[in-house]
Amino acid sequence: MSREAKGGKNKAFLMPKPHSNQQEDRNIDSTLRPTAWDEYIGQEKIKHGLRVILDAAKKRKEAADHLLFSGPAGLGKTTLAYLVARDLGGIIRTTSGPAIEKTGDLAAILTNLTPNEILFIDEAHRINPMIEEVLYPAMEARKLHLVVGKGPSARTLSLDLPPFTLIAATTRENLLSQPLRSRFGATMRLGYYEPADIKKILERSAAILGIAADLDAVEILARASRGTPRVANRLLKRARDFAEVHGGGGPDGTAIDRTAALATLEMLEIDEAGLEPSDRRLLTTIIEKFNGGPVGINTLSAALAEDRGVIEDIYEPYLMTLGFLQRSSAGRVVLPAAYRHLKIKDRGELL
């Protein structure tokens, strides 16, 4: 049956299904977050290392060592922090680097910690250097040193802190100061997920959300997910929307099939390799304006009217993983694989 012929039937699916949980839809991201180690797919070496650290801490009945999770956004750093807290049976207190504006803010958080509590700081690279100074003795000796008063009457107050574990997450480990980095007992660097793991994540998410999706659709969405679970789940939700509004496969016409998956990617302007318009624009700018490179990051930032941090943190890591872009001492260079993907003849072919 054609898509047009099914259109009238599918209008009913614009209304919520009787069995759908609207609260779950509003909290969909937290709903999809794994709550046990066996639900966390991928990053096997990191999981194994964490289990050794945590099991040893529990055996000694001590607080676990401080942990640093680094890697691109959407790879599961926050989820790992919550799994660590659950494994240790403790409470997790969350904050972020930009939220800690003054020394007093951090002091208030530290003095309210309970024994064996987990303190999770997201975007740790954005912690003010002055505030870092307070963290050093807190992490090393569980001491909080405060200066009370001003001028000649100022005095230093030292407070004992309960045993706690600091977990920090960052997308830019290079921006963390060396003194802070050295105080973590272990640094876990998360990498992009393998396609097979992304497919398992999509299948798990589809089962939780009650979405029917065929194998071809899952394969297509997985390839376009940039090796990132957060992106995979976002594409799955948009494909569900498309199938419910425009029709899909399955008995009720709302299952995500190959056609719905491809149409979703076209709607979002994402190609089969997961490149978005901004990624393609970066590559074509280097090719067309700078002869394929090398071009310096500041020049490229000006040409794209884009912050260099966004280029370095968001666009480049995935493009380098695909073998489309190379960082060299002279600047950024577009590699032959990118020319082939964009269907552009490289310089060698034009000579």
Using only the alpha carbons of the chain, give its radius of gyration: 24
Residue 150 annotated to the active site: no
User: CA angle, 293 as apex, 291 and 294 as ends, to 5°?
Assistant: 145
Residue 61 annotated to the active site: no
222 three-class SS: helix
Q: Both tokens of residue 305? A: 């009217």
The distance in angstroms from the start CA to the end CA of the chain is: 51
User: CA angle, 336 as apex, 330 and 341 as ends, to 5°?
Assistant: 125
Residue 230 annotated to the active site: yes
Output the DSSP codes for 227-286: T-HHHHHHHHHHHHHHHHHH--BSTTS-BB-HHHHHHHHHHTT--TT---HHHHHHHHHH
Of 31, 47, 78, 94, catalytic: 78
Q: Is residue 169 within a helix (H) or strand (E), and if so which, with residue range?
A: strand 164-170
Yes or no: say if 110 and 158 are a contact pair by the CB < 8 Å rule.
no
175 three-class SS: helix
Of 122, 197, 257, 279, catalytic: 122
Strands (E), 23-110: 67-70, 92-96
Residue 347 annotated to the active site: no
Of 79, 165, 170, 171, catalytic: 171
Yes or no: say if 22 and 16 are a contact pair by the CB < 8 Å rule.
yes
* Residue 32 backbone phi and psi in degrees, to 5: -80, -10
Of 230, 237, 240, 332, catalytic: 230
Residue 271 annotated to the active site: no
Residues noted as catalytic: 77-78, 122, 171, 230
